[in-house]
């Protein structure tokens, strides 16, 4: 309560009772905001002194309150999401820098309150530590499959963040962008974090191919776009041995030529995407994703890619390599953890030396065996990216609350898996997923713990939502607390290892800048 705003949170709760969601109340610049739950469809409530210009920035129904204040109830649409981000600046996507961070995928637009609860719980148990969140995160591929736009994703995350009472820095990840047009769609609505995916330009055939074929692939590289030549490649890399901490990278001729043949076109594509983004002169950060490829990224290849991107004037805050083993969707790591530890320690050392920048853990959902070694190797210089596991938690609620619908989704997913798995790295065998008729209602929730069932349900989310979304969302809305509790429980397990190792010396919500990074403006000239 202040002179500018004479009502306390207790006053508002006494006035509006169950119409008001307590976690959402915030007072800022002489106005109060909260989520009004009195109507079948929730609304944003704004209470501000009559005549305040802020009233005109929101669309809704205005009524007189008392003491010269006006109450305005507004639909949670795109326009009012933009208005509330302007009114409450912490809701506007910002820069994360080198702070430990995590991205939360939400394919239904309903998971953010549960994500916030998980993050608050993890941070409450690690006083003084920081994990900066990205609640708005969805790839263009996922947007197409869920029939959502970039602004739909951002709007849902904005109101979910607001409802749950998160008042610190947030980012917004335009994930796995492949074309300049993808960048345009996300930049137009205010995203702050741009993940470039050059996977289509990575030549995985190089691994294991004959030396003569490598030479032909080198000849085909876009040398003009790389502002380089075969001679430059020889001069800059071949014959050198790089020592970084305990890592030794031998850049002999075969290693360098294969690295260039495999990743040269991808480097050129990232530089093109970066310049397109920088020309917009917006405040933003870049992540480079090398993970969605068939073969692992060696330490020499990582060194080559990072060095070439720096030479071309590209700055980035995080980079995802393709690690050894298998990082499949919605399940734990498949592979040798000791081999992975050695691999990640090498990549993390390169990131510290050539950046510093964060190592990004993609397909990070449910990789519980990996988190401790990954965070230790990176020393907290890490970004965790999760996605479809929130959808699986939604199905867990459906299995408990509406088994008939879950049976329909399960039967549908078993039929769609062969087609829908094509764009994912998964190994589930649909023949090991029981038919719905073989299970009792009590057995259905346990399927969400089964490897094959999780992957089958996970990768068929787009097709399933096209058929079942209205019914599924209605049940989640009726069981909102159960969904939020499930998400809190599940994501808490993801976040605790990252809270423990978050870099010391940072204040909550204040990102540490990354050294030498240009976040806006024209691309730097090549060196």
Judged against a pLDDT cut of 60, whether residue 524 lies above it is answered with no
| Predicted pLDDT of residue 18 | 84
Judged against a pLDDT cut of 70, whether residue 501 lies above it is answered with no
**What are phi and psi for residue 466, nearest 5 degrees?**
-60, -30
**Which one is catalytic: 156, 182, 287, 402?**
287
Residue 366 falls in the annotated catalytic set: no
**Which one is catalytic: 175, 182, 203, 393?**
175
| Predicted pLDDT of residue 393 | 97
For 197-216, write each residue's pLDDT tens digit. 999 999 999 998 999 999 99
State the Cα–Cα distance between residues 490 and 487, nearest whole angstrom: 5
| Predicted pLDDT of residue 139 | 93
Of 119-123, 158-162, 502-506, least confident by mean pLDDT is: 502-506
Pull the structure tokens for residue 188: 């137009």
The closest alpha carbon to 364, from 158, 144, 175, belongs to 175
CA 181 to chain centre: 20
Judged against a pLDDT cut of 60, whether residue 223 lies above it is answered with yes
On average, the pLDDT of the chain sits at: 93
pTM: 0.93
State the Cα–Cα distance between residues 360 and 229, nearest whole angstrom: 30
Residue 207 falls in the annotated catalytic set: no
Partnered with residue 31 across adjacent β-strands are 28, 48
Residues 356-367, mean pLDDT to the nearest whole number: 96
Helix residue spans in 61-149 (DSSP H): 78-87, 112-124, 140-146
Q: How confident is the model at residue 513 (pLDDT cuts 50, 70, 90)?
A: very low
Report yes or no: 59 and 74 within 8 Å, Cβ to Cβ: yes
For 393-408, write each residue's pLDDT tens digit. 999 999 999 999 999 9
């Amino acid at each position: 309560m202040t002179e500018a705003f004479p009502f306390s949170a207790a006053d508002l709760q006494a006035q509006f009772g169950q119409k008001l969601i307590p976690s959402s109340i915030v007072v800022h610049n002489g106005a109060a905001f909260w989520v009004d739950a009195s109507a079948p469809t929730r609304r944003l409530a704004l209470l501000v002194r009559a005549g305040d210009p802020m009233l005109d920035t929101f669309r809704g129904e205005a009524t007189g309150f008392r003491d010269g204040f006006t109450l305005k109830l507004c639909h949670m649409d795109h326009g009012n999401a933009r208005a509330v981000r302007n009114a409450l600046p912490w809701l506007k996507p910002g820069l994360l820098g080198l702070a430990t961070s995590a991205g939360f995928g939400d394919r239904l637009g309903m998971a953010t309150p549960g994500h916030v609860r998980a993050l608050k719980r993890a941070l409450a148990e690690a006083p003084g530590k920081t994990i900066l969140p990205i609640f708005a995160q969805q790839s263009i591929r996922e947007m197409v499959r869920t029939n959502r736009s970039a602004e739909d994703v951002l709007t849902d995350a904005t109101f979910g963040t607001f409802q749950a009472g998160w008042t610190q820095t947030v980012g917004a990840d335009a994930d796995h962008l492949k074309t300049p047009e993808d960048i345009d769609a996300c930049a137009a609505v205010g995203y702050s974090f741009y993940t470039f995916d050059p996977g289509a330009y990575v030549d995985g055939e190089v691994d294991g191919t004959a030396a003569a074929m490598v030479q032909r692939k080198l000849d085909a590289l876009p040398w003009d776009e790389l502002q380089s030549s075969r001679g430059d490649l020889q001069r800059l890399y071949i014959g050198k041995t790089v020592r970084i901490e305990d890592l030794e990278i031998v850049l002999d001729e075969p290693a360098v030529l294969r690295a260039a043949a495999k990743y040269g076109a991808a480097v050129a594509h990232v530089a093109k995407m970066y310049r397109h983004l920088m020309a917009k002169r917006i405040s933003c950060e870049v992540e480079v994703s090398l993970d969605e490829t068939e073969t692992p990224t060696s330490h020499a290849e990582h060194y080559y890619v990072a060095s070439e991107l720096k030479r071309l004037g590209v700055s980035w805050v995080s980079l995802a390599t393709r690690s050894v083993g298998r990082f499949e969707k919605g399940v734990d790591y498949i592979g040798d953890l000791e081999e992975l530890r050695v691999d990640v320690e090498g990549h993390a050392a390169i990131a510290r030396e050539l950046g510093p920048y964060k190592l990004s853990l993609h397909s990070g959902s449910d990789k519980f065996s990996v988190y401790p070694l990954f965070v230790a190797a990176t020393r907290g210089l890490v970004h965790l990216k999760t996605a479809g596991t929130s959808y699986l938690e939604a199905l867990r609620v459906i299995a408990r609350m509406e088994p008939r619908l879950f049976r329909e989704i399960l039967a549908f997913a078993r039929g769609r898996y062969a087609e829908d798995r094509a764009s994912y790295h998964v190994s589930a065998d649909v023949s090991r997923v029981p038919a719905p008729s073989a299970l009792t209602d009590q057995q259905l929730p346990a399927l969400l713990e089964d490897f094959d069932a999780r992957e089958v349900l996970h990768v068929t989310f787009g097709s399933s939502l096209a058929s079942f979304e209205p019914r599924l969302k209605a049940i989640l809305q009726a069981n909102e607390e159960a969904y939020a509790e499930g998400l809190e429980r599940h994501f808490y397990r993801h976040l605790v290892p990252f809270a423990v190792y978050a870099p010391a010396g940072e204040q909550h919500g204040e990102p540490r800048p990354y050294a030498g990074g240009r976040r806006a403006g024209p691309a730097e000239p090549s060196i």
